[in-house]
Amino acid sequence: MTKTFPGLFVVVEGIDGTGKSTLVSNLYKILRKKGVDVLVTFEPTHGKWGRKIRQSFSMSKRMEPEQELSLFLKDRKEHLRETVIPALEAGRVVLCDRYYFSTMAYQGAMGLDPKGIKERNTTFAISPDICFLLELSPDKAIERITHGRKEAINNFEKLEYLNKVAEIFSSLNEDCIIRLDAAMSPERLSKTAAEIILKKLDDKGGLN
């Protein structure tokens, strides 16, 4: 769904281990120093539906794909209604860690049709102004998770599955998508993304 707001909606996407959360955190700091009013948020949320999704991350058996998708849709509707859209209407920059592109990729990798997932989302989900898609090989991403972050692999991070997810991400071609090499240093990646956001804000006439 395309709708214009006073604010700017920026989404950060990519497979697990690409550094999405680090980029969001760094962008927040850079933009705040520039005097920009920023809201950081994420999906799945910590709301009623998001908590059920998060439980599926570590369950011995994943939910059925359609059941999982249904929860993502409910969580996203609530998230947009209660958090994202009010902030955009107030003229803020919203930085969101994951959005419906992840649902297309992750639930698509479970066997659902990514295009069908997109259609079900775009009946209510607004289009982001910018979607930074961080690209990194699944092998390297797994290495970062297990060695860099010292974390165990959950249901969303197994190599074979991540390969399928990465393939779907690679096939996405929406106009808002800007692909960034996640192998760059966090500093360079953040600087590159921040410059793109600030240019977009200038084009928009700046935000209050």
Nearest to 176 by CA among 195, 202, 197: 197
Give all domains of the chain, ordered by start, each with its CATH number: 8-203 (3.40.50.300)
Per-residue model confidence as pLDDT tens for the chain (208 residues): 677 899 999 999 999 999 999 999 999 999 999 999 999 999 999 999 999 888 877 676 778 889 999 999 999 999 999 999 999 999 999 999 999 999 999 999 999 999 999 999 999 999 999 999 999 999 898 888 877 655 555 545 578 889 999 999 999 999 999 999 999 999 999 999 999 999 999 988 765 4
How many angstroms separate the CA atoms of 32 and 39, rounded? Answer: 10
Rg (CA), the chain: 16
pLDDT at 156: 54
Alpha-helical segments (H) within 80-158:
85-89, 100-108, 114-121, 138-143
